[in-house]
Amino acid sequence: MGAVGVSAALRRLAEDPGFWTGAVPPSADHRELRVPFPVAGGYGLVLDVDPATGERALGLREPASTEPVPLGTHLPGRPAPAALRWWELDLCARVIALADPTLPHPGLVMALLSPFAPPTDDDDAAEVAAVRAAAYRSLRRDVPVPAGPEQDPLPIFTADRWWPRPSPLVLGEAAIADLTRPATERVEVRGGRRFPRDGLAALVRAASARLAREHRRRCYAGALPLARRIAATGDLGAVGTLLAVLTEAGCDHPTVLDALSEPIVEIEAWWMVETLAGAAPGTLLRRRM
């Protein structure tokens, strides 16, 4: 199962704040969408989205299967189905991002699937909220730069408040704070008789193996010592040097380079440093928090 790019319909939907906040988006195409996210070893996650209601249904695709096995269904305003553990979602989102350069981690995958991985008592709620917030902040839309007035404004009108530029962010900070608030209720669906425990465990094993061998790629060899130093200290000051080393070695993976390029988004840079260093996911975030 190869990488499948995100459809134009999903991108349009993701740019509508109403989809994320639970309001029916008036400008969205209301046709149902099926979004496949190949992970590793022939396993993947499949998300069915109904834009009209906001309902999302998550399924597991196994090798040689034609239809995904249901994992859980989420409706806005209802308790979240704990189909995935948070670390499982984080792992899968990292692997998906490495396979599809249009989907950085944390990003659209994390934003779409996080309702299926509400924090448990074993998770650090602050860490989960930080990653989710980074995912929602990564949602951007193309906003044309206004041409401005035909002539320079009078000095009294030069302040930004007179000529504001539209924000490319889909969601404001108030909406993001709302979306990342810890769930007070969750529905445990993993104990059900029909829940595909063995298939999900196989997906997690395949994703873990895929991520664990990423730092061994030849083009990353020269960056390994520096990545490990950054991972050990938590200091991102050398990220520019790390980027230069990778570029000189011929690395041209957009996801890798973007995560280490200005403007630096700490959580994105951390996950890439961890990947290049072969460090456990979340090492740098936990160090900082």
Segment (H or E) for 208? helix 197-212
C-alpha span between 60 and 45 (Å, rounded): 5
Residue 124 near residue 150 (C-beta atoms within 8 A): no
pLDDT at position 102, please? Answer: 87
**In the chain, what percentage of residues exceed pLDDT 90?**
69
Tens-place pLDDT, residues 159-216: 766 666 678 999 999 999 999 998 788 999 999 899 999 999 999 999 999 999 999 9
pLDDT digits (tens, 9 = 90+) for 47-58: 999 988 889 999
Does 26 score more than 80 pLDDT?
no
Phi-psi region of 146 (alpha: psi -120 to 50; beta: other; left: phi over 0): beta
- State residue 3's pLDDT score: 46
